[in-house]
């Protein structure tokens, strides 16, 4: 009876074989599923596609956090870049457009474990093909593949902010002086390098009450360098404000002086006869203000104007009295800059 019970508790050879086969099938199924995941969701191609999708979705935080994207001090030094290079553009709402219609062209595995993933995509109106080299890193849970870019795909964009240190990229306004010190802060043209997510298209420009720049698009390719100049020029409002100041100066400070040679003014007259009354000046034509950039400021070149004098005189020849009515042409030049508080500084030349 006892021996019979013990025999009933044992697995038969057939059952053992059956359970073993099931275990093998389960292990084989797990390995197959794991292999499928490593080839698809956790594959090198998927890693690159997720990076490009993040840029296209304007999820720049995720794109910048992708392994192998960030540059450490050693990477920056090796690329000849300053350790304090600006990362201000590594944020959302800066990219004008990202890669679209992404398609993996090939995924080539190398003996050292690295993969070269070649991808085709549309960037603005151009069809671009880029080869990304990715390297394996410590697996997730010890079994799922993880990757990093062997070389960072970040681009470097050198921005020259001409005539104004401020510029816009996307919805962001940046100051090209942010990393500058000393005399560099007062330069009329500011050139600064920025790290930028790539591939992507960026639009640079600037617009304020006094200055505006025509928008310029820049295509940033992975690992490449690009340069752009944001050429801020005076707006009509800027020119009008300077014109008002010029008119006020000529009328209030110059024409108001009852003398033949108004002090500190661009016009005057020399008369041989005796002046017997106060000269009266009026501005017939005020110089029309035009502003062009120079190395250090905006300049109005010497521009013609016309003043008129009316004065009673007595002839030294025969003693007769008369009123002299005479036009006097003159030229006026000036320099103008925008102060940090937004006001205009004008210096006559």
SS3 208: coil
| Under 8 Å between Cβ of 175 and 194 | no
pLDDT at 140 over 90: no
Q: What is the pLDDT of residue 4?
A: 47
Distance between CA atoms of residues 169 and 203, nearest Å: 6
Q: For the residues of 41-97, what is the DSSP string, one character each?
A: TTSHHHHHHHHHHHHHTT-HHHHHTSTT-S--HHHHHHTT--TT-B-TTSSTT-EEE
SS3 173: strand
Distance between CA atoms of residues 88 and 181, nearest Å: 18
- pTM value? 0.81
pLDDT band, residue 67 (cuts 50/70/90) = very high
Residue 284 Cα distances to 17, 306, 326, angstroms: 114, 5, 11
Q: What is the pLDDT of residue 11?
A: 59
Q: What are 256's two structure tokens?
A: 């108001």
- DSSP state letter for 37: H
Q: What are 348's two structure tokens?
A: 């006559």
- Return the domain boundaries, the chain: 14-231, 236-348
The tokens 């030229």 sit on which residue?
331
The tokens 């016309």 sit on which residue?
306
| Under 8 Å between Cβ of 158 and 195 | no
pLDDT, tens digit (0-9, with 9 covering 90-100), for 9-45? 565 665 555 555 555 555 444 444 445 544 546 799 9
Distance between CA atoms of residues 310 and 73, nearest Å: 74
Q: Average per-residue pLDDT in the chain? A: 89
pLDDT at 49 over 70: yes
């Amino acid at each position: 009876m006892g021996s019979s019970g013990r025999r009933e508790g044992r697995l038969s050879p057939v059952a053992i074989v059956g359970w073993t086969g099931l275990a093998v099938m389960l292990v084989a199924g797990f390995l197959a599923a794991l292999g499928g995941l490593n080839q698809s969701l956790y594959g090198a191609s998927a890693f690159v596609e997720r990076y490009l999708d993040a840029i296209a979705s304007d999820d720049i935080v995720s794109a910048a956090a992708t392994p192998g994207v960030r540059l450490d001090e050693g990477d920056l030094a090796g690329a000849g870049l300053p350790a304090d290079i600006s990362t201000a553009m590594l944020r959302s709402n800066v990219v004008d457009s990202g890669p679209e219609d992404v398609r993996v062209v090939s995924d080539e595995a190398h003996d050292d474990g690295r993969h070269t993933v070649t991808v085709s995509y549309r960037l603005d109106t151009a069809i671009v093909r880029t080869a990304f080299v990715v390297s394996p890193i410590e697996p997730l849970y010890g079994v799922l593949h993880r990757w990093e870019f062997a070389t960072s795909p970040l681009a470097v964009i050198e921005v020259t902010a001409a005539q104004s240190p401020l510029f816009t990229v996307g919805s962001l306004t940046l100051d090209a002086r942010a990393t500058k010190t000393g005399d560099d802060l007062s330069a009329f043209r500011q050139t600064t390098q920025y790290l930028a997510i790539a591939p992507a298209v960026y639009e640079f420009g600037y617009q304020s009450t006094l200055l505006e720049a025509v928008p310029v698009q820049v295509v940033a390719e992975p690992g490449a360098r690009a340069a752009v100049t944001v050429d801020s020029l005076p707006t009509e409002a800027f020119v009008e404000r300077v014109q008002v100041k010029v008119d006020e100066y000529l009328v209030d400070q110059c024409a108001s002086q009852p003398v033949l040679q108004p002090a500190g003014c661009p016009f005057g007259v020399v008369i041989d006869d005796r002046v017997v009354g106060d000269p009266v000046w009026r501005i017939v034509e005020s110089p029309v203000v035009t502003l062009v950039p120079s190395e250090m400021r905006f300049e109005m070149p010497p521009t013609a104007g016309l003043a008129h004098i009316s004065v009673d005189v007595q002839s030294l020849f025969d003693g007769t009295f008369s009123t002299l009515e005479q036009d006097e042409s003159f030229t006026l030049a000036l320099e103008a800059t925008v102060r940090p508080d937004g006001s205009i500084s004008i210096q006559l030349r």
